[in-house]
Structure 1
């Protein structure tokens, strides 16, 4: 009787295969664990910018460029068109108010002035004739009134006399009645004469007012025409410096065409261009500062031009107190405009790291200074020198603020001297 032989479960070859598999699996796990750790990179310390987070006074500001301009500029336009006949001064001259700059000629305008003057003189003559006629008419009516008044007095005298004579039977009733009727007739004439004289006075006054009003309008038109002719001589409207004069003898200028400008020299302002991103945060009264000849000066925003052109808008700033000595028109100033009030904050200097991290993380240097590692941070506002740190760092922490262009996904930097 055959006895079945029990087959071994694990042969030597199987055990060898299992051992090799376990070894391979261990190697895979080992490589995975150690490769998933922080990748490192050796860097030279001298090539890095290492700064310390410090608490200090922080104010958000933006850098802008401004151009120095006169405090006020008065533009000279041709009020009336014409041909340039004479130039009294050249560009850059210092002018006093009322000084002539140039003279234009306009034959049509000068002829219109002559015609207007003739119209005024004709109207004045007609008015004088009308006044004389009205005066003579009034005199005639006054004479007539005097005659009526005299007739009334005589009729009243005769009537009163006849009444007394009739009472003494010296005259008959018929003669009394006749004198009474004559007296009543003269009274009615007197009333009518008064009405005529009153109406004549009103009519004469109305006519005189109309003539006077017409004359005044014509006189005003003449004065306006004279001013228009006088405007052919362009004069300085204020004290200042004549600039941008664009006129040559013989050149024709159209009405409203720009001739030049007068810059008032009593002070300066600064015209500043600002990115439209800040338009909601810029308002009159904000301050700015700049350095000139190693001294700091302050400006204040006086006017904001809200019109946006090519992604930028403009503001006018004036010097808060002292104006720098030696500053000139057209000079460019580098200004820092404050967007917030001063406050205490944890600060780190600005640097190239922000371009790669967006302010979300930074390399923090270890306490012994031998390496630096990534940490998450949160940055707030910024100015031309510092970032405001909201979280992730503490006072005295050292960080690398230079650029991270060559670090890729490195998690740790080994700092070599």
Structure 2
């Protein structure tokens, strides 16, 4: 049911309310490693808030795809090594055969040379010619044997090099798989407290069984000696109402009676959807906050942010009587019809109407 209210002049302090989460300003991030499979599944991780020592296991990904492949890669190494050794032995035997043939032809040439050295006047002319022909044949045979031996040795060397490359490639594949498996277990680089990261698509903390991609920050180790920060989001309908350097009050939900001063240090220039198929878009906002009590201020705590803007005066309308869409505002009148208006600013309850309404207009709010 609509509540009727008459518009009147007044003033407000423009105020923007945000909700955020406390984060460490300085922290060591443990991210998803890049692997051949790209996506990995979280098999185990330490509990949020757990105290760890340097070298303690804090995060482990499922390695079943790598261990299965590792066995096959190790078999490939054995096969490549066997092929290399077998070829080396066979090629050595073939080269030895060629060398034996070469020595045989060399001896034949020496014998033929010795026979042709006998003075021609001591032998029949036909014998001299036969011996000279035999020497020529021996020289040709030796030349061919030398070429065959050189070609065999070169071919063996090239094939052995190919086999060695195949063996080295198989060994590197095993080393890469073993390295990938070892990188699937992340350990704490120093003493600290575990803080579980937020899934960028689901808007919740990571859980065991989540499928993640390289670069996702799963776990952080905050440095509590450094100032903290707050990560919040500003709806795109409030574009322009927050600026870098704007000051406000930030209250931890766990300690509602102890607000702390904070100020905006970063504001994203582009609004983005928080989830894959969401139509709502938000600007990422980062605020700095003093770390006055490291024992109580822990990453992950919810924070209410109240940013104070300028003082505005003019025609006031209940915020619940206004609807905002794509940067435009519409005022719900007492009869239920909507009228487009221009809004100068708002606090939590009221908005200043710059144009489109006059004093005495009756509006309906819920």
Q: Above 0.5 in TM-score?
A: yes
Partner of 2:96: 139
Q: Choose the corresponding residue for 2:164, options 212, 217, 233.
A: 212
Partner of 1:307: 273
Q: 1:305/1:127 Cα in 2 relative to 1: closer, same or farther (>3 Å)?
A: farther
Q: Choose the corresponding residue for 2:187, options 228, 236, 243.
A: 236
Partner of 2:317: 355
Q: Choose the corresponding residue for 1:261, options 218, 225, 237.
A: 218
| Deviation sequence 1:34-89 (CA, Å, 0-9, x none) | xxxxxxxxxxxxxx9689xxxxxxxx99654432224565467994687x8xx9x6
Report the Cα offset of residue 217 of structure 1.
4.0
Pair 1:175-2:127 in alignment? yes
Partner of 1:194: 146
Pair 1:66-2:20 in alignment? yes
Report the Cα offset of residue 332 of structure 1.
1.4
Equivalent residue of 1:138, what SS? helix
Q: Choose the corresponding residue for 2:292, options 325, 331, 340.
A: 325
Point out the structure with the larger helix share: 1
Pair 1:334-2:305 in alignment? yes
For the 8 Å contact 1:238–1:262, the answer to whether it is kept is no
Report the Cα offset of residue 202 of structure 1.
3.3
Q: 1:337/1:126 Cα in 2 relative to 1: closer, same or farther (>3 Å)?
A: farther
Report the Cα offset of residue 265 of structure 1.
1.0
Q: 1:305/1:109 Cα in 2 relative to 1: closer, same or farther (>3 Å)?
A: same
TM-score (normalizing by structure 2): 0.56
Equivalent residue of 2:248, what SS? strand
Question: Aligned equivalents of 2:269 and 2:139: distance in 1?
Answer: 81
Q: 1:275/1:230 Cα in 2 relative to 1: closer, same or farther (>3 Å)?
A: closer
Partner of 1:54: none
Question: Aligned equivalents of 1:278 and 1:50: distance in 2?
Answer: 20
Report the Cα offset of residue 187 of structure 1.
2.1
Partner of 1:128: 85
Partner of 1:290: 248
Q: 1:301/1:155 Cα in 2 relative to 1: closer, same or farther (>3 Å)?
A: farther
Question: Aligned equivalents of 2:151 and 2:237: distance in 1?
Answer: 77
Q: 1:49/1:102 Cα in 2 relative to 1: closer, same or farther (>3 Å)?
A: closer
Which is greater in Rg?
1
RMSD (Å) for aligned C-alpha atoms: 5.3
For the 8 Å contact 2:248–2:305, the answer to whether it is kept is yes
For the 8 Å contact 1:68–1:333, the answer to whether it is kept is no
For the 8 Å contact 2:20–2:230, the answer to whether it is kept is yes
Partner of 1:185: 137
Equivalent residue of 2:267, what SS? strand
Q: 1:136/1:287 Cα in 2 relative to 1: closer, same or farther (>3 Å)?
A: farther
Equivalent residue of 1:353, what SS? strand
Q: Unmatched 5+ residue regions in structure 1?
A: 1-47, 52-59, 246-252, 339-346, 359-378, 391-403, 410-417
Question: Aligned equivalents of 2:298 and 2:98: distance in 1?
Answer: 80
Pair 1:152-2:122 in alignment? no
| Deviation sequence 1:323-370 (CA, Å, 0-9, x none) | 5433532241526499xxxxxxxx8x32573328x9xxxxxxxxxxxx
Partner of 1:93: 50
Moved more, 268-277 or 292-301: 292-301
